[in-house]
Amino acid sequence: MLHIPQGATGEALPFQEALEAALRPSPDYDVERWLYVPNTYGEYRYILGTRGKKPLICVGINPSTAAPDALDPTLQSAQRVALSNGYDSFLMFNVYAQRATRPDDMEPFCNGELHRENRAAFRYLLSLSGQPAVWAAWGNIIEKRDYLMDCMRDFAADGQDAGACWFTAGPLLKSGHPHHPLYLRRDTKLLEFDIAAYLRR
């Protein structure tokens, strides 16, 4: 199934409001196992992942069609890599929250309100661990829109404030970007990633 955006994202649901709804019991999935914010399918998604005591925050570019109990191949790979590296759960986050199966379909300009609420979502994920582990997993797709790197700088600043440790799965691509999860082996090892040096390059 493809997800093609129906236009500009418009007004964004406040993350805190979406989170409160996602923490309440749902007839559609087990909220004790899944964190899904917002908890209904829409034009954007802040968070999708599993709950645990030692989560790995995986940062991609933008969400597609995945939902609880219906992970797409990218999220299936992300979960496998997280578990093989000693984490008990994974939390998928994205540099930009707009759903688009094809990154070329992302809106051409950043929705500042959506980015602000997405940033609140990232800060929430960082708060779940004493020393958050963040996996940079966006591949070359970060070059699709000029605003994506600007968004990433904000998340890097939030990670620094939270004392986050950044990782990449395997060595960097020739382009200097970290690998996208889709075609990684399940036993790919996480390596330390200097996010500050990456953003300065």
**What pLDDT sits at residue 6?**
85
For residues 68 and 177, what is the distance between their CA atoms, to the nearest angstrom? 28
Taking residues 136-145, report their average pLDDT.
Answer: 97
Among candidate residues 68, 61, 58, 60, the one with its CA nearest the CA of residue 25:
68
**What pLDDT sits at residue 80?**
96
**What pLDDT sits at residue 128?**
97
Taking residues 5-24, report their average pLDDT.
Answer: 93
The values of phi and psi at residue 77, to 5°, are: -65, -40
**What pLDDT sits at residue 183?**
86
Task: Provide the residue count of the chain.
Answer: 201
**83-120 residue pLDDT tens:** 999 999 999 999 999 999 999 999 999 999 999 999 99
Q: In what order do the strands lie in the sheet with 89-94?
A: 34-37, 47-50, 89-94, 55-60, 133-136, 165-169, 190-192
pLDDT of residue 135 exceeding 90: yes
pLDDT of residue 76 exceeding 90: yes
Contacts for 174 with CB less than 8 Å, ≥ 6 apart: none
Work out the widest C-alpha separation in the chain, in whole angstroms: 47
Taking residues 28-34, report their average pLDDT.
Answer: 97
For residues 37 and 49, what is the distance between their CA atoms, to the nearest angstrom? 9
